[in-house]
Amino acid sequence: MVCPHCNAENVQGARFCSQCGRSLAPPGQPSILAIDRMIEDYLRQVDKNPSDAMAHYNLALAYRLKGMDDLAEMTFKKVRELSPDFADVHYQLALLFRQHGRIDEAKAAAARTLELEASHEGARRLLHQLGKE
């Protein structure tokens, strides 16, 4: 693997360049270590204040980035319990359900998003796409 910053040759799978120390993650993609730190930070916030819906929400987003979809779903559902009128948590669940082929659940979650926030374009597009599946 060649470093895009200094052109040094690195072992396959390396996260950081052995020459310049910069991240070897593709541009626009957060490094795994950064995501791990985010998860640790949000877990601490949730431990300090278990009723903090935004800390749970951000934790769920970090789990999604890491590909930990079961934990993300469980955490999004906790957010939904803490803040049932938070439209974007329903939208995030809709995306997650769709990704895993749970189309009926995705439709219901996207529809709930629109009930809460009629101008939510992402949910509107998703419902349209789900109608074709």
Interval 24-82: pLDDT, tens: 776 666 667 788 888 999 999 999 999 999 999 999 999 998 889 999 999 999 999 99
Please give the pLDDT value at position 122: 92
21 near 15, Cβ under 8 Å? no
- Per residue in 83-126, pLDDT tens? 999 999 999 999 999 999 999 999 999 999 999 999 999 999 99
Report how far apart, in Å, the C-alpha atoms of 33 and of each of 29, 38, 62 are: 12, 9, 11
Average pLDDT over residues 16-29: 69
Q: Dihedral, CA atoms, 37, 42, 45, 47, nearest 10 degrees?
A: -100
**What pLDDT score does 7 carry?**
81
Report pLDDT for 33: 75
CATH 1.25.40.10: does it fit domain 32-132?
yes
Distance CA 122, CA 133 (A): 17
Tokens read off for 92: 């995030």
Burial of 45 from C-beta contacts in 10 A (0-12 / 13-18 / 19+)? middle
For the entire predicted model, the pTM comes to: 0.76
Residue 22 backbone phi and psi in degrees, to 5: -75, 160
Q: In the chain, what are the domain boundaries?
A: 1-28, 32-132
pLDDT of residue 71: 95
pLDDT (0 to 100) of residue 30: 61
